[in-house]
A and B are shown apart, each in its own frame.
Chain A
Amino acid sequence: MQEFLDSLITQGYFAGVPRDVVYAAGMAVFAAVVVLGFVLNVSGVTTWLERRVWARMQGRCGPNRVGPQGFLQWLADGVKLFMKEDLIPAEADSRLFRLAPYIVVLGFLTAFVVIPFSSALIIADLNVGIVFVTAVTSLVVVGILMAGWASNNKWSLIGGVRAAAQIVSYEIPAGLSIMPIVLLTGTLSMQGIIAQQGWAPQNWFVFNNPFTFLAFFIFFTSALAEGNRTPFDLPEAESELVAGFVTEYTGVRYLLFFLAEWGNLYIIGAVITTLFLGGWQIPPVTDNAVLRALLEFLTFFIKSYFWVLVAMWVRATLPRVRVDQLMSVCWKYLVPLSFANLLGTAAWVVAWPQGNVVARYAMTLVGVALLYYFFQRVAFHLRRARVRERGELQFSPLS
């Protein structure tokens, strides 16, 4: 942040204003902009987009009445929820009940402090950045457990306990998949991690070596589970637990839980982009500080929002796992695998301290091949659906 303001000052903006005032004002304005202008809008728009994308995948229209293409639906929903009565069940522990949504929101808003939107746009580049993210997002568990307990409803309680068990368990593979990157870079700072990657895919950490490639998938899976997303949406499993820990909530408190859920999705995408996908790195195209910040911001935003879309897609595709299957996936497969990954990366770093260029290009090729295979499969199914309409049958050479 400071460097960004410095560069603005040297380029002639803010002439005649004391440096400290510029720093302080810049920090305050940016924090406010991030929280109010960015976070709230992004999670709001995400609710609308998820419903539209989902509807499209299911052959429906989705919300399309409020504003163009229903774009303002999320504002209408928000206003509606603000005007609802704030019900607190008579037998509920009213203090905890009222406190719980704030803790959840606190957990996810605080994480934005270290999200590096561009080389300059970051509220605070803490030297423990990535650990800070995992630490504060764990606050969400406390809030959810509190909500489940205080509601004095057995379905809420089961939802809360499920959430606690699930999030705490999946933090282990998620944390262990962050560690390979930390081993490679030797830093925990978000900007430090991005600075060691390049703008081209072969310089991203996901393709650095086979272990980070695997860590990427483990991290995405565990992040979905931590964010209570399908196929791991057990805490609020509608068909089992009514609405899980939000069963008794109404109005704005209910809104806050969902704000946190959709905001969390963006954090997942941002962390993945930072760790594995080169963050805001762009090719050197311009020297103008403002333009550069804008391009970097756009790059980072598109990369991270892509994973939000993937999460929506997964949600439209998969059924929900059972609670024992959830635990066995975590403890029997993901945790040992991510441990092996960590050891493998450690060995890799010892063998090639400067990184292995051949492996990097080879892994990039593997990634491209996987994408190619995926698109081939999609194209095949589209073709088959078309052939089926004519009444013929076609068998996949790949399946």
Chain B
Amino acid sequence: MSLTGFELEVQRAGSAGLETEEMTLNMGPQHPSTHGVLRFVIKADGEVMREAIPDVGYLHRSIEKISEKVGYHGFMPYTDRVDYVAAMFCNQGWSMACEKLGGIEVPKRGEYCRVIAAELNRISSHLLFVGTMILDIGAMTPFFLAFQEREKINDLLEELCGARLTYNYMRIGGVAWDLPPNYAERVLAFLEHFERALDEHNDLISYNKIFVERLANIAAVTPEVAINYNLVGPNLRASGVPYDVRRDDPYSIYRELDFDVPVGTGEVGTVGDCFDRYIMRVHEMKQSVRILRQCLKQMPDGPVIAKVPRKFKPPAGDAYIRVESARGDMGWYAVSDGTEFPYRCKIRTGSFSAMSIIDRLSPGLMIADLVALISSLDVVAPEVDR
């Protein structure tokens, strides 16, 4: 990595007899912009960082191990806690893995309910990302505007499954409840309003001069590096790699739906910089709105859940399932030994691999840029450790 102008100056000052000392900073686990309990050990020379080493493990709750004791059905509420910002996707991942193990067919309406819930959740997760990202850059007003919209989605999801954060909505073989009466009208009314709110949001902050200057050309990730570091989801697409599990390895009913996969174009700087990662989420919210409209229109009638025995005992074997979570490709691996408890469960999450790239991108960045980088990668602490 070449030295920036400032670093060269520091070096020159050092050779002229001015001593500068490297400072070790401890960022987190309790720091306002580490989004939970992440910790970074920063070696900094003044404001410029030499390196930032992520230290994970502060939120480890042995969720994978718990699955071996509570059974297939009983594990569902625990999956909510894997990524509490986008719990629907974890529900969906686990139920899909179990269905693959047991060879269960989900009724069509059940699949539609799942996709509607998941896409609503994707919008709410991205709204949280957008709000906190802007908050980390130092503007407060857009944060509240984003959360106002998120509240409306929380209300809709509460109507659907009785919970606002940890939904526990899906079951092995379908979903717990059908949509409430007149739900489609209320969702459509919300989408109508939300599209305009998103335009207003873009007017207000997305192309604000200071905001763009803070994010453009910061911590750009080239497509090769993104693939090598196993970035997934919006982070990968921001680097210009058009890969979306929903489109390239379709599950559920995504094959029948029409949507685009936005990729980073380096709108204001280089491809894959912090701004691309930010604007990627804004574009994805628009695509989610499209998907939701189609789902509500095409939804068939029928049961929402297949007949699954209360003592679910899939035959011995294993299953690996991928879902496109709000944070990208999320893998669920379940091994069955023929009893009613899973033999092993393994969850592969996007935040964990996103954490590893911070180490590589941080040298030469300023501390303020590190804050922007962490939030632009959309790292959610419980998803890192599980």
Task: List residues of A whose CB falls within 8 A of some B CB.
Answer: 54, 57-60, 154-155, 158, 161-162, 230-231, 233-234, 237-242, 316-325, 381, 385, 388-389, 391
Contacts and interface: CB of A to CB of B under 8 A. Distances in A.
Is chain B's interface secondary structure helix, strand, loop, or mixed overall? helix
B214 A322 contact: yes
Contacts of A381: 203
Contact of B138 (A230, A323, A391): A230
Contact of B210 (A316, A321, A385, A388): A321
Given A239-B32, A242-B31, A389-B196, A323 B140 contact: no
Q: Which of A60, A162, A234, A241 has the most CB of B within 10 A?
A: A241
B137 interface: yes
Interface string B370-386: 01000000000000000
Contacts, number: 87
A238 B32 contact: yes
Interface of B: 6, 23, 25-26, 31-33, 46-47, 134-141, 144-145, 148, 192, 196, 199-200, 203, 205, 208, 210-211, 213-214, 366-369, 371
Contacts of B134: 319
Given A154-B25, A318-B210, A58 B140 contact: yes
A325 B137 CA distance: 13
B26 to A, nearest CB: 8
A319 B148 contact: no
Nearest to B25: A154
B144 A60 contact: yes
A321 B371 contact: no
Contact of A242 (B32, B135, B200): B32
Contacts of B205: 319
A239 B47 contact: no
B23 A388 contact: no
A200 to B, nearest CB: 35
Contacts of A389: 196
Nearest to A233: B138
A237 B192 CA distance: 37
A238 B140 CA distance: 11
A385 B200 contact: yes
A388 B200 contact: yes
Given A231-B138, A239-B138, A316-B140, A324 B366 contact: yes
A96 to B, nearest CB: 20
A388 B199 contact: yes
B33 A319 contact: no
B317 to A, nearest CB: 47
